[in-house]
A and B are shown apart, each in its own frame.
Chain A
Amino acid sequence: MTDDILDGWETVIGLEVHAELATNTKLFSSARNVFGGEPNTNIDPVSLGLPGSLPVLNKKAVELAIRVGLALNCRVQRSVFARKNYFYPDMPKAYQISQFDLPINEGGWLELPDGRQIGIERAHLEEDTGKSSHVGGGGRIHEADYSLVDYNRAGVPLIEIVGAPDLRSADAAREYVSELRSILVAIGASDGKMEEGSMRVDCNVSVRPQGNEEFGTRCEVKNINSLRSLGRAIEYEARRQVDIITSGQKVEQQTRHWDEADGRTHTLRSKEEAFDYRYFSEPDLVPLDPSPEWIAEIQESQPPLPRQRRIDLAKAAEIEPRDVALIVQKDLDGFALSAIEKGADASRVLVHLANNLADGVGHLTEDAFAALIRLETNGDLSATQAKTVLADLVDKGGDPTQIAADHGFETMDTSELDALIEGIITEHPDDWTAFVQGDAEERKKKSGFFVGQVMKMTKGQADGKVVNDILLHRAEN
């Protein structure tokens, strides 16, 4: 952050991320866990908290939670469920079954693509709430005429990942969340969709003078629905706190609500109004104590994590791991590695994957991809032509050589090109003089002009590099 007012201040950020686990059924009952069904269709006595109903723990949810713990380098341990008591219509039993003093995963870390390690305090299991929609008053909670509650989401398994206050900027916070999301997706624990609310971020922010050891008073910011709003909310909140302190006041410990529309955080409640959740161990459940054998089995079947995948791809491409972060995040690293193994030039592979395959690989096969890049590096296709062929391969698949031929992309003979260039020079004598006599900058500009002319006449089929060579050759002779 470069804002003047924050000069000399450090922002301290700790994130609490809730992710819905990708199970078939709910955490404590056999009602389905699916997003976006008709209201109240995925319910049962347990989801509705009906009198007499009892929770039974979903084994798959436990397995996924252990997977998350292992991926975040946590200690997987004996855990106990607890009731967190508070009244709210979303919360069917008026308590949430969560884990309190004995979480399933404790004490780990997550490594950002640049190698920084961020502490993970715990990652515990809990159930999700239902969803209220507020009717009237423009859907705003404070002005609504009434609310309607749908319990399809109630009881969906969540993992709450509590990060240490190790982050120091909005950018780092965003990187943390996207790395965490990549991990959750990689291990199949969650679909990580922030826009569907299957991944939600609460953010603890405090500020302190640069160099201070002691933490400032923190505020918790809720209702952050995207990476973008995460960054905005942190920056707003840090600035707000610095303003308060520099004007001689004290930051009050609060829970605050991020309003995407006005770009501000608003007081939700103060520390005094904080809920007294009256946690106690859930008597309807028994302790969870996964055996070392089960944990080992899960560890062995753990797919490679993004960190390792970055290292593997970076090694194959002979670049730094952080430079392949995007490709790993898009889950294209396996594709890249395979194309490289098939002899494709690594740097072209990465360029195409990063720039030209943003919407996925479609019908493109690894073999066709490797073959295309070979055509490109051999000089059989120009970069522009390669891009065109690639788009076709993504759309329909096929053989790159054939597609190039169908487009009429045949490598032009140098003599043919030379004749073409001679014609252009004759038509634009002033430009040619400027090219021949100009300094490096002028020459670059004019070479752009001539290449452009050639491309226009050849419909982009010429190789720009070859055109340049011819121009230079002519100028010097």
Chain B
Amino acid sequence: MNERISRDDVAHVARLACLSLTDDELDSFTSQLADILEHAADLDALELEEIEPTAHPLPLANVLRDDEPGAAADREKFLASAPQIENNQFKVPPALGDPS
């Protein structure tokens, strides 16, 4: 077991990511993710305290759009690719649990 990430961590992360893993998958993913994180440990050698993070390579700012409506949506076109529709709405199984 690698200390970089535990089996429990992987199980927790899978839950966060809405994925379900079998026991075998949990084992193999844990060891693969640990390997990858272990490789990333080379960054630990760097002195980074004074360095600002870069989130994005572009120096742009303030890219704005005028508040003008586009053409009205062709609803059918969007509903056509939905798994289930009822009354022009997207139908899903019952919720159970409200995140808001």
List chain A positions with a Cβ less than 8 A from chain B.
Answer: 23-25, 29-32, 38-44, 48, 56-62, 78, 80, 86-90, 129, 132-134, 137, 141-142, 144-151, 222, 257, 268, 275-276, 278, 280-281, 283, 285-290
Contacts and interface: CB of A to CB of B under 8 A. Distances in A.
B67 A59 contact: yes
Give the interface SS of chain A, mostly helix, strand, loop or mixed.
loop
Contacts of A56: 63-65
B63 A38 contact: no
B4 interface: no
Interface string B51-87: 0000110101111111111101101001100000011
Contacts of B68: 24-25, 30
B56 A145 contact: no
Given A286-B56, A286-B63, A147 B79 contact: no
B15 to A, nearest CB: 10
Given A89-B95, A144-B94, A44 B60 contact: no
B98 interface: yes
A285 to B, nearest CB: 8
A148 B90 contact: yes
B16 interface: yes
A146 B67 contact: no
B66 A59 contact: yes
B20 to A, nearest CB: 13
Given A43-B78, A148-B86, A141 B56 contact: no
B87 A287 contact: no
A359 B68 CA distance: 34
B68 to A, nearest CB: 6
Contacts of B55: 80, 280-281, 283
A257 B98 contact: yes
Nearest to A57: B64
Contact of A289 (B62, B73, B75): B62
Contacts of B18: 87
A88 B99 CA distance: 7
B89 interface: yes
